[in-house]
Amino acid sequence: MVSSAGPRTFDAVTVSTMFVTPAMIRVRFGGSGLEEFESTGVPDERLRLFFGTAAERVVRSYTVRAFDPQGPFLDVDFAVHDGGIAAKWALGAKPGDRLEVSEARGWYKPPVDSRWQLLVADMTGLPALTRAIEQLPAGARAFVIASVPNHADEQTVPTQGAVSYQWLHTDRQEPGRVELASTVTPLSDAVRACRLPVGPGYVWAATEASEARSIRKYFHRERSWGPDRFEIKGYWRRDKEQWQQRYTQVQQHIDAIREQAIADGKSGKELTQVVDSALEQVGL
């Protein structure tokens, strides 16, 4: 264990790295610093990884792809992308490299009456999605809609569940679509086009933020699903630097709306919905 003040953190030492697929690097961490690390077992449990020095610490969220207390071994899958401290670190990681990691926390929680699940992810959500599939009880029905660069990046894992997959290939988008990146939502379009079974279900999605917002809007506003029936999170933001610049200009306005919503008793997904709408209204 590393620190005593603030959230608990652990010293993780790189044991090995491998390409799970061409666009996904798995880093296996080990070392005595992980002996007290505990996995919640929730498939989308999130870790904070701390990069840089104590004076200039950069924090990024990643998923526990697997944890074996016997090692102890902690596997984290990093999607390869241009730029980014975390992605670059993973690409260059070698045995012995150290990283501080936080405790884990997850959100995936299908209500017990769910007869089916819809699991949606891009590359960043795939570690949690594949773990959820591995843990499905025998015969549990799940529909996967996932986007990956191309065929070689598809991942299927052993499961007792009854799973069907729909893969979208982002490398195949026609030229020109890339420039419209912030408004292109192929995953959201696929979700809307999907004929969902009757009966109570559960939707879990982890994608780029604008995709996540569009999917959330669909289930929350358009289909009026109750908040316990979906968990839809933005895992990263396209053009983050430009977004953050524009956000700074409207931050006071958004903060005021958030505070008013909290004062009105809104929390959790309801609060997210209010902030989503406010951001949308200012074009973010």
Ligand X SMILES: Cc1cc2nc3c(=O)[nH]c(=O)nc-3n(C[C@H](O)[C@H](O)[C@H](O)COP(=O)(O)OP(=O)(O)OC[C@H]3O[C@@H](n4cnc5c(N)ncnc54)[C@H](O)[C@@H]3O)c2cc1C
Q: How many CA atoms lie within 13 A of 248 on its CB side?
A: 5
Q: Under the phi-then-psi rule, with left for phi > 0, alpha for psi from -120 to 50, and beta for the rest, what region is 52?
A: left
d(CA 242, CA 277): 19
Residue 61 sits in the site that holds ligand X (CB under 6 A): yes
Nearest to 231 by CA among 62, 65, 111: 111
Stretch that binds ligand X, among 78-86, 147-155, 156-164, 221-229 (CB under 6 A): 78-86
Q: How far is the CB of 154 from ligand X (least distance, A)?
A: 16
Binding mask 153-172 for ligand X (x = CB under 6 A): --------------------
Give the dihedral of Cα atoms 207, 208, 213, 218; nearest 10 deg. -50
Amino acid identity, position 108: Y
Residue 225 sits in the site that holds ligand X (CB under 6 A): no
Compare residues 107 and 218 and give the one whose CB is closer to ligand X. Answer: 107
Nearest to 171 by CA among 152, 197, 143, 190: 152
Compare residues 90 and 116 and give the one whose CB is closer to ligand X. Answer: 90
Stretch that binds ligand X, among 55-63, 144-152, 185-193, 251-259 (CB under 6 A): 55-63
d(CA 191, CA 241): 28
Q: Which of 29, 37, 50, 62 binds ligand X (CB under 6 A)?
A: 62
Q: Residue 217: is it exposed, middle or buried by C-beta count within 10 angstroms (0-12/13-18/19+)?
A: middle
Binding mask 96-125 for ligand X (x = CB under 6 A): ---------------------------xx-
The DSSP output letter for 169 is E
Q: How far is the CB of 263 from ligand X (least distance, A)?
A: 27
Residue 86 sits in the site that holds ligand X (CB under 6 A): yes
Q: How far is the CB of 283 from ligand X (least distance, A)?
A: 17
Compare residues 48 and 141 and give the one whose CB is closer to ligand X. Answer: 48
d(CA 101, CA 47): 6
Q: Which of 169, 229, 237, 246 binds ligand X (CB under 6 A)?
A: 237
Compare residues 33 and 127 and give the one whose CB is closer to ligand X. Answer: 127
Please give the structure tokens belonging to residue 82: 């241009």
Q: Which of 13, 66, 87, 257 binds ligand X (CB under 6 A)?
A: 87
Pairing of strands 230-236, 141-148: unpaired
Residues forming contacts to ligand X in the complex (CB under 6 A) are 46, 60-63, 77-79, 81, 83-87, 123-124, 127, 235-241
